Structure 1
Amino acid sequence: MKERQLLETAVKAADDKRAEDILVLNMKGISLVSDYFIICHGNSDRQVQAIAREIKEKAEELGYTIKRMEGFEEARWILIDIGDVVVHVFHRDERGYYNLERLWGDAPQERVGQ
């Protein structure tokens, strides 16, 4: 159940920084990369960075190691790899362009308390 705790913590951290349209995709059996994708966006570079920073800090407080964090400086699409959970924090403009929800349309959405 530790995986669920990580999911809930990451979603809450994103929500605390006012991330918009937070979506959790269950990637089990679909992707070899991770079990869950969290997708959200912010409306400015600073907000995107704040969301990513908060997720990273809260995951580390739970004892998780951030395996990789890419795109932080550019703040257009920040990827946070926490093992079984990968978080995609987009700038609003980039989220529409990449449209991961459509790309991974086969993945069921997971309800996580917000």
Structure 2
Amino acid sequence: MPQAQLQPASTGATPPAMVDSDDPQLALVLQSLDDDQAQDLVSIDLEGKSSIADHMVIASGRSTRQVAAMAQKLSERLKQGGFGNPRIEGLPAADWVLVDAGSVIVHIFRPEVRSFYNLERMWGFDGPSGAA
């Protein structure tokens, strides 16, 4: 199985919205999460490698309250941006919230839950530092 191309969404030099200027939905997602102070943002390019989405974004929040707020705000911004009504799963507990925006799937975790499930590793990525 070919490995997905992975890249840290925020490198310090390039604003997260500029990671993939060809995809305005991905840019909106990354900018929204960055604006809401998401931690350890990772963007995984799935285009041509998976039928579920073109991009997967993984981020962490410091608390269940921040995770829930980031997911709800992202959903509002996607609607306002004309990207439809995304599905949200996991809001009641807010340990792991999934936002399905169609071509972009977003996972927002509390840090402990993120390290337990380790989705980056499942996609051939060892962590948000960019090491493969």
* RMSD after superposition: 1.8
Query: Does residue 74 of structure 1 match 2:107?
Result: no
The percent identity for this pair of structures is: 36
SS in 1 for 2:23: helix
Deviation at 1:23, TM superposition (A): 0.6
Count of matched residue pairs: 106
Query: Does residue 62 of structure 1 match 2:81?
Result: yes
Structure 2: segments with no counterpart, 5+ residues? 1-19, 126-132
Partner of 1:38: 57
Q: Report the TM-score, using the length of structure 1 for normalisation.
A: 0.86
Which of the residues 46, 55, 69 maps onto 1:27?
46
Checking the alignment, whether the CA contact within 8 Å between 2:78 and 2:86 is kept in structure 1 is no
Equivalent position amino acid for 2:52 in 1: V
Task: List structure 1 segments (4+ residues) > 6 angstroms apart after TM superposition.
Answer: none
Q: Deviations over 1:42-86 (max 9, x none)?
A: 010111011111211111111112342100111011000011100
Q: Counterparts of 2:82 and 2:91 in 1: how far apart (Å)?
A: 21
SS in 2 for 1:66: coil
Map 1:89-100 to 2 at 5 A: 89-100=108-119
Change in Cα spacing, 1:84 to 1:2, as seen in structure 2 (3 Å) is farther
Checking the alignment, whether the CA contact within 8 Å between 2:75 and 2:86 is kept in structure 1 is no
Instruction: Report which of the two structures shows the higher radius of gyration computed on alpha carbons.
Output: 2
Q: Counterparts of 1:36 and 1:4 in 2: how far apart (Å)?
A: 10
Q: Report the TM-score, using the length of structure 2 for normalisation.
A: 0.75
Which of the residues 79, 104, 113 maps onto 2:123?
104
